[in-house]
């Protein structure tokens, strides 16, 4: 097993879980007026905008978990193969770009950029 890829996979799974839980607590709890999907936000946002914001928020978590599963699987195969190296590099590039985007968008105030850059480093450390 490639320890760096296992740690990257675990880190990405944790980031995804924290992202969904904290989003529900800090963002969507106040927008929820009925049911599971939040619908509040008027006058700034319309109901359909809040619904797609909520869906997109959790889509990020699901895609992060999928990438985590991919890294976990890659950790168990030899990294010398071209396809495995390419897939790992792509995952590293995606987490690096995500970390830089979060850093830029929040002026470095949101801690997710640190976790994403650590994950990218672990992927490339392999």
pLDDT tens across 34-85, in order? Answer: 889 999 999 999 999 999 999 999 999 999 999 999 999 999 888 778 888 8
* Integer Cα distance of 112 and 87 in angstroms: 22
- Decide if 23 contacts 14 (C-beta within 8 A): no
Confidence grade of residue 26 (pLDDT, cut at 50, 70, 90): very high
Residue 52: predicted pLDDT: 95
Provide the 3-class DSSP secondary structure of residue 76: coil
At residue 95's C-alpha, the angle toward residues 94 and 100, to 5°, is: 100
- Decide if 5 contacts 74 (C-beta within 8 A): yes
Residues 6+ apart with CB under 8 A from 93: 120
What is the pTM assigned to this prediction?
0.86
* Integer Cα distance of 14 and 17 in angstroms: 5
Residue 15: predicted pLDDT: 96
**What's the DSSP call for residue 107?**
T
At residue 114's C-alpha, the angle toward residues 108 and 119, to 5°, is: 150
Q: List helix spans (H) across 32-110.
A: 47-74, 82-106
């Amino acid at each position: 097993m490639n320890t760096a890829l296992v740690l990257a996979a675990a880190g990405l799974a944790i980031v995804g879980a924290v992202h969904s839980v904290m989003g529900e607590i800090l963002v969507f709890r106040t927008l929820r007026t009925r049911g599971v999907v939040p619908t509040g936000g008027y006058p700034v946002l319309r109901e359909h905008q809040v619904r797609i914001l909520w869906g997109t928020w959790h889509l990020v978590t699901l895609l992060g978990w999928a990438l985590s599963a991919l890294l976990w699987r890659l950790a168990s195969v030899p990294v010398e193969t071209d396809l495995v190296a390419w897939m790992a590099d792509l995952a590293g590039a995606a987490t690096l770009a995500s970390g830089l985007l979060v850093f830029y968008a929040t002026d470095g105030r949101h801690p997710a950029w640190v976790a994403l850059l650590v994950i990218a480093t672990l992927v490339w450390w392999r």
